[in-house]
Amino acid sequence: MMDLLYKSTRSNETAVTASQAILKGLSADGGLFVPSGIPALDVDMETLAGMSYQETAYEVMKLFFTDFTEEELKSCIAKAYDEKFDTTEIAPIKKEDGAYYLELFHGATIAFKDMALSILPHLLTTSAKKNNVKNEIVILTATSGDTGKAALAGFADVPGTRIVVFYPKDGVSPIQEKQMVTQKGDNTFVVGINGNFDDAQTGVKNIFGDKELEAQMADAGFQFSSANSINIGRLVPQVVYYVYAYAKLYASKEIDKSEKINVVVPTGNFGNILAAYYAKNMGVPIDKLICASNDNKVLYDFFTTGTYDRNREFILTTSPSMDILISSNLERLIYKIAGEDADKNLEMMAALGKEGKYHITEEMKAQLSDFCGNYATEEETAQEIASVYQKTGYIMDTHTAVASCVFKKYEAEKKDNNKSVIASTASPYKFTRSVMDAIDMKYDAMTDFELVDELCKISKVKVPGAIEEIRTAPVLHDTVVEVNEMKDIVKKFLNI
């Protein structure tokens, strides 16, 4: 098999191998790495239907990570998808209230980010060995709540790595914050910033692009990489669960062979729905990709109008992982619909940086027919949690509720009879107060951990280990900085 190479969305520089793209995280020109083509699945659905999650992961990832040996890739997969997950299926599907909820939150930190961040440390350290990298890898990441803890858990005490996570101090749930600030590991560092997620993400990108700092890092024996979904080593593992979900629905006779399904994804940074788009392009019979937004509906407006405009109020919602106005992964899709024209893409990204918006052409807009968007208000999100619970007893988190609500709106509007898979991206235990308040405001008087126990009682779902372990865990990280201090705090952590 020929090596599949990766190129930048912002220039026509020499393409790199998968392991080099994983190591770099972000291209030197500020662009994102994209594969030179989307490979087609080379196993049929009958075969996939009988495979475990780990076997499916290998069949998908071998097509993207072509410079990894079979032994290397299978070793990474085995280390990632093990007893850290509390269910043997890794990503079980629950049929509730007319949809299939793909539960992606059974990993160590009870959010979908575990699906990719369990394997990324192993892909990264393997990539370092393959490329004879002697430097220590410093993972630098901004989080809107879930990536941070999942990355910290994945990289804690991994030899040859350090990890720095920035999060918006007042922009994550209490459980999310407690999960991060109690993180153990001598190589971990968690920093709150006085700003929102977009500030954190922009700050991280600026640090990546700082050539002077890069030279100082190299002199001290360090180099940066990323655990955000801008890293292709994050994105490709997410493709796996869409392939797996379709195969399992076929295996259980919920769908016929080649029957098309829709996929509904609660969307912030656009990586999770882009992974579904890649799965579709690999040959999975997916029809519509339904992009679900909360009140920060920049993506809904983009798919409706063809204009991406972040010049608007940033709204803090009960689904904080979607409180994003700069959806970084959308750049990969823009590059694709611009005919893989790096100059055209760069022009639009420059406009986004300078004016806060860009417009796509009618020709580009015509290529977005696979996608449609809608959004759910805070009130609608709470109503959806309560409604599904009252009807079925099933309790979902706020992000999943946004997707579930948008799915109902789409069905009512389009009269589409395709079966739909909803990406259920976090455990309700991660957003306990918002979930319990949606069910009944009487719960609001309880403490966070009283709510956890009450949720256990009414959902009949065991409290996850990720929650139990932070009940009494001491705070180990209490640093908070201004946005303009981010670079200095990184240098302080690394003693450079």
* pLDDT the model gives residue 220: 96
- 291, exposed or middle or buried, with CB in 10 Å at 0-12, 13-18, 19+? buried
Give me the catalytic one of 7, 24, 62, 113. Answer: 113
Using an 8 Å Cβ cutoff, are 6 and 18 in contact?
yes
Question: Which amino acid, one-letter code, is at 491?
Answer: K
Fold of 93-110+233-461: Rossmann fold (3.40.50)
Question: Which amino acid, one-letter code, is at 116?
Answer: A
Residue 473 confidence (pLDDT) above 90: yes
Q: Read off the pTM.
A: 0.93
Residue 266 confidence (pLDDT) above 90: yes
Residue 1 confidence (pLDDT) above 70: no
Please write the tens of the pLDDT for every residue from 207-229.
998 999 999 999 999 999 888 77
Task: Choose between 145 and 410: higher pLDDT.
Answer: 410
* Annotated domain spans of the chain: 93-110+233-461, 136-220+464-495
Residue 284: band (very low, low, confident or very high) from pLDDT cuts 50, 70, 90: very high
* pLDDT the model gives residue 230: 86
CA 55 from centre of chain? 22
Q: What is the dihedral of CA 160, 150, 264, 61, to 10 degrees?
A: 30
* pLDDT the model gives residue 337: 97
* pLDDT the model gives residue 226: 84
Domain 136-220+464-495, what architecture?
3-Layer(aba) Sandwich (3.40)
Looking at residues 76-101, what average pLDDT do you find? 97
* CA proximity to 61, closest of 328, 287, 282: 282
Q: What percent of the chain has pLDDT over 70?
A: 100
For residue 8, give both structure tokens. 């930048």
- Indicate the length of the chain as a whole number: 496
Looking at residues 399-416, what average pLDDT do you find? 96
Please write the tens of the pLDDT for every residue from 104-151.
999 999 999 999 999 999 999 999 999 999 899 999 999 988 889 999
113 in catalytic set: yes
Looking at residues 176-192, what average pLDDT do you find? 96
